[in-house]
């Protein structure tokens, strides 16, 4: 199991050293979230490059070499137009972002969060992009089908897959755990402990999976004894898996 860390230049090295001492694997986001990366026309790759460039002066190669950094998390939900002023990120820009990252840090794996069917619309080949992160939500239906479909398409694209669960909003009504508060635009549900265990174990049993992420950090929810116990079971299963870089 791993975590996504939205990095800041002034604290990155200290955070990476802390992760190394705890034997954690980290996907670093160097650009930040969508509000920092868009203009009136949607995603702006020039802004994205400027934000990545803030980290050029830092030497964190040793954390790439020893696997503390599992990958560079290029962008979140590139295929969700609600994040980009009504437009999806043009798919050709994904490979351009990966190439830009590799031009600075050649051995740091480049990872995107998007569904493989979006990436499959690219007419070229992914020579620099290493992997794709997919996240399960109850509304996606049968988990086995979801995993098999996305793994198969990822392989066809020459990409490694990182799995995950939307524990904070992905449980569906059957979880019985309402989330989001009274002002949420529509009902949202936490995953319950049984869902986390069953769905997480299924992900972790998938051959070739390079990482597994739970989204997102909500202290009160994660402190529930049943939720903490479920996550502990997944952690124990994950520790038995090979520790490998998320690169092709």
pLDDT tens sequence for the chain (248 residues): 578 999 999 999 999 999 999 988 999 999 999 999 999 999 999 999 999 999 999 999 999 999 999 999 999 999 999 999 999 999 999 999 999 999 999 999 999 999 999 999 999 999 999 999 999 999 999 999 999 999 999 999 999 999 999 999 999 999 999 887 656 667 899 999 999 999 999 999 999 898 999 998 899 999 999 999 999 999 999 988 877 778 88
What is the structure's pLDDT at 64?
96
Q: Are 59 and 105 in contact (CB under 8 A)?
A: no
Helices (H), 66-191: 92-104, 116-119, 143-156
pTM for the model = 0.94
Q: Are 140 and 163 in contact (CB under 8 A)?
A: no
What is the structure's pLDDT at 242?
77
What is the structure's pLDDT at 140?
97
What is the structure's pLDDT at 76?
96
Burial of 44 (0-12, 13-18, 19+ CB in 10 A): middle
Q: Decide: helix, strand or coil at residue 119.
A: helix
Retrieve residue 134's tokens: 């997919």
Phi-psi sector, 5: left (phi>0), alpha (psi -120 to 50), beta: beta
Backbone angles phi, psi at 84, to 5 degrees: -130, 45
Long-range contacts of 52-55 (CB under 8 A, 24+ apart): 52/100, 52/101, 52/104, 54/9, 54/30, 55/7, 55/9, 55/12, 55/30
The one-character DSSP state at 62 is: H
What is the structure's pLDDT at 1?
59
Q: Decide: helix, strand or coil at residue 112.
A: strand
């Amino acid at each position: 199991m791993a975590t996504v860390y939205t990095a800041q230049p002034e604290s990155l090295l200290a955070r990476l050293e802390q992760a190394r001492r705890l034997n954690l694997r980290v996907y670093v986001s160097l650009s930040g979230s969508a509000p920092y990366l868009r203009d009136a026309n949607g995603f702006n790759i020039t802004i994205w490059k400027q934000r990545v460039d803030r980290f050029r002066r830092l030497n964190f190669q040793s954390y790439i070499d020893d696997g503390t950094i599992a990958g560079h998390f290029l962008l979140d939900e590139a295929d969700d137009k609600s994040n980009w002023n009504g437009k999806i990120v043009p798919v050709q820009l994904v490979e351009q972002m990966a190439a830009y990252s590799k031009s600075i840090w050649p051995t740091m794996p480049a990872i995107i969060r998007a569904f493989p069917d979006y990436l499959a619309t690219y007419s070229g080949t992914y020579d620099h992009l290493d992997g794709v992160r997919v996240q399960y939500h109850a509304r996606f239906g049968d988990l086995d089908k979801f995993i098999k479909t996305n793994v198969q398409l990822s392989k066809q694209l020459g990409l490694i897959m990182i799995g995950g669960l939307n524990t904070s909003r992905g449980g569906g009504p059957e979880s019985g755990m309402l989330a989001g508060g009274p002002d949420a635009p529509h009902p949202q549900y936490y995953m319950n402990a049984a869902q986390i265990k069953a769905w997480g174990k299924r992900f972790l049993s998938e051959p070739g999976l390079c990482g597994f992420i739970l989204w997102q950090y909500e202290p009160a929810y994660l402190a529930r004894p049943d939720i903490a116990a479920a996550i502990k079971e997944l952690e124990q299963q994950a520790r038995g898996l090979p520790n490998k870089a998320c690169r092709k």
